[in-house]
Amino acid sequence: MTRRPLIPRNATMRPEWKPEHIYAIRYATRPTALRHEHFYGHIDCGDDSMPIDYFVWLIAGQGEAILVDAGFTPEVGARRGDRIHLGSPLEAAEALGYPIAAIKSLIITHGHYDHTGYVHELPAAKVHMQERELAFWVSRHAHKEMYRAILEENDLLELVRRNLSGGVDLITGDAQLAQGVSVHLVSGHTAGMQVVRVVVDDQVVVLASDASHFFENIEADKPFSITHSTPQMFDAFDRAFELASSATAVGQIIPGHDPRVRDRLAPVDPALGLDGRVWQIV
Ligand SMILES: [Zn+2]
């Protein structure tokens, strides 16, 4: 696993910048989803209702922020159907005090359509993604229907263009992006899936994104239905636990799509007008 120095060449946060808050921004939901859609293989999960939420995350402090993932737009949601878009995650970030100009870095955990939609609205943000992830989406397998169906072509083209202009930090393994913020290649769900570890004071948070869509995936050791490598998905669960653990405690692991996040976290001040859309992790 490649390890890089504390402040890499492509770092965009000031060296003295530190994260102070982490927010979960819920930008869409699909209430009609069923249990059997969310677990891989021959596990009998039944047809009970199991709604899915769609999140991005904002790592914020001192007027600047790192956005983790870029959602999908209302147009893409409408085309794919059955999804209720709740509003632009960038507008939610702005309401929290972090307009587009304040978002210096954009971590893309993986290339699926629900994580890349607003990349084009953040032209000045440095994109951090795994080299292996971008490489897969321009590989000989990318056109296969099972992969192609969960990609947005225009988002991929935007990432390729951004890379050609030097706007993408392609990571090979682990990288420290700022004080207290690091990314870690886990693969499994996709070829180059990465998770994000954030330390705020003595609190450790692992933003698992789709390394674990729901708490139940990681807590019951049951991988999600869409896999690039199922053994790597099990290893990704272990890695997330390891990254969340400090000498004295296990920190929070935040899944990518679980409505139960809303029960476990505190909503932000209702005066912000973000009811039902933003929760504070730290
Ligand atoms: Zn996702």
Distance 16 CA to ligand 1 centre (A): 32
pLDDT at 256: 98
Distance 75 CA to ligand 1 centre (A): 17
pLDDT at 45: 79
More confident of the two residues 37 and 238? 238
Confidence of residue 1 (pLDDT cuts 50, 70, 90): low
Q: Helices (DSSP H) in 149-229: which residue ranges?
A: 153-164, 215-219
Question: Is domain 21-280 given the CATH code 3.60.15.10 in the classification?
Answer: yes
Q: How far apart are CA 172 and CA 48, in angstroms?
A: 40
Distance 6 CA to ligand 1 centre (A): 29
Distance 151 CA to ligand 1 centre (A): 11
Tell me the mean pLDDT in the region 92-109.
98
Distance 29 CA to ligand 1 centre (A): 11
Distance 257 CA to ligand 1 centre (A): 7
Share of the chain above pLDDT 70, in %: 96
Question: Is the predicted pLDDT of residue 243 greater than 60, yes or no?
Answer: yes
**Boundaries of every domain in the chain:** 21-280
